[in-house]
């Protein structure tokens, strides 16, 4: 018989508060056209993107995260000292160690929480949310701060016609805490490593260090391959998440997919046969693709504008480099 004392966590977990931060500089397509041979019409038709935000030197990964976290903490109605863990999903923090989560935890004003980074690309928020749910239910933390943050302008090849217009910067954060009723459904997540070359960094850090190529490492992708995978495979994953939560598309109030591309979003809506009354996040038009930050930023905007409301049932799904994915059904804070 085991002598280990059983965990004493909450019966369930929920998102209690959400916050977002978008850099002050708004970059229209006209700026992108200064370095690539394209047109505003082509960019909009291919991606749905009209503008994106690019961070200034002062708007660091940590600074944006602290701003978003402060809003999420206030929205949740807790104090920073109550946070037992900080999870940061990002691919644009350039120090291998220490984790940026430790710096953010300190600047937010927490005590001595567990703090770590995860690298799961555009699915990172879903991965962090799932880890946070487990912590709350298991009892290792009562409240968990989950952050998705990116400065993808640092990793964008401004002369790459296929990707220069896609990426933006920003941070989104949520507080996950205890709940008496189910409010975060089972996560359907996974990876397809055989497709890892479709979205990748152009030069590995060790190669960059050894060879010092003229161009700094950037993110590149095989657009058509990613589009087909996202539309056909991720719609299946989204449906699996609905099934795991025991609901149908008709039960949904809101759909918040990763803000990768408007065409992908619209195709997923069609494939899932979502009813017309379901609110669909289309934050990509003015924010661009912010990878791990895109879902919490879109969630925050929907709630702030009144398009979605507290208590709504939402399907969230992230997918990207790896290729990795994560989908779950949540109750909005």
* Active site residues per annotation: 122, 258, 289
Q: How far apart are CA 31 and CA 165, in angstroms?
A: 9
How many Cβ atoms sit within 10 Å of the Cβ of residue 136? 25
Look up residue 332 and give its two tokens.
Answer: 């909005």
Look up residue 52 and give its two tokens.
Answer: 């994106």
Could you tell me if 152 and 169 are in contact, meaning their C-beta atoms sit under 8 angstroms apart?
yes
* Nearest to 66, CA basis, from 176, 171, 175: 171
Q: How far apart are CA 160 and CA 251, in angstroms?
A: 42
- What is the b/e burial string over 263-302, where b = at least 16 CB atoms within 10 angstroms of the residue's CB? bbbebbbeebebeeebbbbbbbebbbbbbbbbbbbbbbbb
List, in sequence order, every beta strand (DSSP E) within 277-323.
279-280, 313-320
Task: Report the DSSP pairing between strands 114-118 and 83-89.
Answer: parallel
Q: How far apart are CA 19 and CA 22, in angstroms?
A: 10
Which neighbouring-strand residues pair with 169? 151
Distances (CA, A) of 148 to 62, 175, 295: 11, 12, 8
């Amino acid at each position: 018989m085991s002598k280990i004392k059983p965990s004493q966590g909450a019966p369930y977990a929920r998102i209690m508060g959400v916050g977002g931060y978008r850099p002050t500089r708004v970059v229209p397509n006209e700026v992108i056209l200064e370095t690539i041979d394209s047109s505003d019409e082509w960019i909009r038709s291919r991606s749905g993107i009209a503008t994106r935000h690019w961070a200034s030197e002062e708007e660091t990964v940590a600074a944006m995260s602290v701003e978003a976290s402060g809003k999420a903490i206030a929205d949740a109605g807790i104090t920073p000292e109550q946070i037992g863990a900080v999870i940061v999903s990002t691919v644009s923090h350039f120090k291998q160690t220490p984790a940026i989560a430790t710096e953010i935890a300190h600047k937010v004003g927490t005590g001595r929480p567990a703090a770590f980074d995860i690298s799961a690309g555009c699915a990172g928020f879903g991965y962090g949310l799932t880890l946070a749910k487990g912590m709350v239910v298991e009892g290792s933390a009562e409240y968990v701060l989950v952050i998705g943050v990116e400065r993808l302008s640092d990793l964008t090849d401004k002369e790459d016609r296929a990707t220069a217009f896609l990426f933006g910067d920003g941070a989104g954060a949520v507080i996950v805490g205890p709940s008496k009723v189910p409010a975060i459904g089972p996560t359907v997540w996974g990876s397809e490593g055989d497709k890892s070359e479709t979205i990748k960094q152009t030069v590995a850090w060790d190669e960059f260090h050894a060879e010092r190529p003229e161009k700094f490492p950037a993110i590149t992708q095989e657009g058509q391959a990613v589009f087909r995978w996202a539309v056909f495979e991720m719609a299946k994953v989204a449906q699996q998440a609905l099934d795991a939560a025991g609901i149908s598309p008709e039960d949904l109030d809101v759909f918040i997919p990763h803000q990768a591309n408007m065409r992908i979003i619209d195709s997923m809506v069609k494939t899932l046969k979502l009813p017309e009354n379901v609110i669909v996040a289309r934050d990509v038009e003015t924010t661009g693709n912010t990878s791990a930050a895109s879902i919490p930023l879109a969630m925050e905007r929907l709630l702030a504008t009144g398009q979605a409301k507290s208590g709504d049932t939402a399907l969230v799904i992230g997918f990207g480099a790896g290729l990795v994915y994560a989908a779950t059904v949540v109750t909005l804070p």
